Amino acid sequence: MLIGKSLDIRSSEITPKSSYMKRRKFIAGASAATAGLIVGRGLLELVHPGERVHAQTKLSGVIKSSLSTDESQTPYKDVTHYNNFYEFGTAKEEPAEKAKNFKTSPWTVSVGGAVKKPLKYDLDALMKLAPLEERIYRHRCVEAWSIVVPWIGFPLNALIKQVEPTSNAKFVAFQSFYDPHEMPTARYAGIAFPYVEGLRLDEAIHPLAILCFGMYGETLPNQDGAPVRLVVPWKYGFKSIKSIVKISFVEKQPPTTWNLAAPNEYWFYSNVNPAVDHPRWSQAKERRLGEFFRRPTLLFNGYGGQVAQLYAGMDLRKDF
Ligand SMILES: Nc1nc2c(c(=O)[nH]1)N[C@H]1C(S)=C(S)[C@@H](COP(=O)(O)O)O[C@H]1N2
Ligand SMILES: [Mo]
């Protein structure tokens, strides 16, 4: 179909979300008869000369979550053009460019280790495990910038329940996709790949931790971790591992990429904590992308009411 085909064309991604949403409505609203009169590329050029429509798919039937913040959302343009995804380069603007042709379909996530039912999921099966929810979360990078994102996903615990961890499962280890041919820039990043992360089992089961498939009403753009990533809003952003292919339940605390790279700077827990500075900079404040003045950073990124009990009795300076 003519209109469907037009929408498949990849975006130059230079348009703010709001304006291309309007454009999409316009295109969708054009009647078949009208569309028939204007030929494919011609229609797009008429709407916005020289621009192309992006490739994300709208996610339907998404439930609004009561766990969302009502703070204003960071513009889509910032969230998709200021990224950390070292497999596609270490500069913030690089992933948007270099992940453009990253192939995320077909996609398989294997779940195993200390579980009664090890399973391999293709993406569709994984996405159907639980109802998709929109979770508007604050996200705080260890580099002292932050964003507010309407993620789409469901609690990681829905997956955990299905595979039935055994009593040996104390931690959950996650692994990102890695292919040096598809990610040629990765070799200059100075960290080891595949990117790996981990959570304690009780952290992974916490209802705030989500498996994320989308944002802003649509599937994840490649640079934000398509097709499936973790979002753990009370921890520094590097715990929210992207483009996951493997999840294993393990007895011992698993290795994590940033801890391997710089153990004095990044420990396992990585809970957002304004009182514990990074060895090279303060964590007391942060810059919200799109804002001018820095704002104070909150303990557990403001989610302490929900998660502080997970760390009762722990010394957060030692277990940082
Ligand atoms: N595989 C992988 N996952 C990753 C990273 C990475 O380099 N590789 N960077 C992390 C860091 S440091 C942050 S702040 C977030 C950034 O997510 P965003 O680009 O969608 O904002 O992804 C995290 N997940
Ligand atoms: Mo980060």
* pLDDT tens figures, 108-161: 999 999 999 999 999 999 999 999 999 999 999 999 999 999 999 999 999 999
pLDDT at 187: 97
Report pLDDT digits (tens) over 2-41. 333 333 333 333 344 444 344 444 444 444 334 433 443 3
Atom of ligand 1 nearest to the CA of 85: 7
Calculate what percentage of the chain has a pLDDT beyond 90.
Answer: 82
Res 274 pLDDT > 50: yes
User: Does ligand 1 come within 6 angstroms of the Cβ of 56?
Assistant: no
- Can you tell me which residue has the tokens 């398989």? 108
Residue 320 placed within a domain = no
Closest CA to 108 of 53, 46, 26, 177: 177
User: Does ligand 1 come within 6 angstroms of the Cβ of 233?
Assistant: no
Strand 133-140 relative to strand 145-155: parallel, antiparallel, unpaired? antiparallel
Range of the domain at 226: 11-311
pLDDT at 36: 37
Residue 302 placed within a domain = yes
Residue 317 placed within a domain = no
Ligand 1 pocket test: pick from 80, 188, 238 the residue with the most ligand atoms within 8 Å of its Cβ.
238
Atom of ligand 1 nearest to the CA of 177: 1
Ligand 1 pocket test: pick from 179, 242, 289 the residue with the most ligand atoms within 8 Å of its Cβ.
242
Helix/strand/coil (H, E, C) string of 116-181?
Answer: CCCEEEEHHHHHCCCCCEEEEEEEECCCCEEEEEEEEEEEHHHHHHHHCECCCCCEEEEEECCCCC
Ligand 1 pocket test: pick from 83, 85, 196 the residue with the most ligand atoms within 8 Å of its Cβ.
85
d(CA 143, CA 289): 12
The conformational region for residue 270 under phi > 0 = left, psi -120 to 50 = alpha, else beta, is left
Res 216 pLDDT > 90: yes
Atom of ligand 1 nearest to the CA of 79: 21
User: Does ligand 1 come within 6 angstroms of the Cβ of 86?
Assistant: yes
The CATH number of the domain holding residue 245 is 3.90.420.10
Q: Is the peptide bond before 207 cis (omega within 30 degrees of 0)?
A: no
Average pLDDT (210-232) is: 98
Residue 260 placed within a domain = yes
Atom of ligand 1 nearest to the CA of 147: 21
Residue 2 placed within a domain = no
Q: Which residues pair with 210 in a beta bridge?
A: 155, 231
Closest CA to 273 of 171, 148, 147, 144: 144
Residue 298 placed within a domain = yes
Res 175 pLDDT > 50: yes
Res 283 pLDDT > 60: yes
For the entire predicted model, the pTM comes to: 0.85
Report pLDDT digits (tens) over 79-95. 999 999 999 999 999 99
User: Does ligand 1 come within 6 angstroms of the Cβ of 244?
Assistant: no
- Token reading at 158: 């829905």
- Give me the torsion for CA of 74, 236, 183, 99, rounded to 10°: -10
How many domains, in total, are found in the chain?
1
Confirm if 235 and 220 have CB atoms less than 8 A apart: no
227 CA to middle of ligand 1, Å? 13
Residue 318 placed within a domain = no
User: Does ligand 1 come within 6 angstroms of the Cβ of 80?
Assistant: no
User: Does ligand 1 come within 6 angstroms of the Cβ of 237?
Assistant: yes
- Give me the torsion for CA of 284, 289, 293, 299, rounded to 10°: -20
48 CA to middle of ligand 1, Å? 32
d(CA 197, CA 175): 7
Band the pLDDT of 54: cuts 50, 70, 90. Answer: low
d(CA 116, CA 305): 33
Q: Residue 105 to residues 18, 121, 136, 286: CA-CA distances in angstroms? A: 27, 13, 26, 36
Strand 244-250 relative to strand 171-176: parallel, antiparallel, unpaired? antiparallel
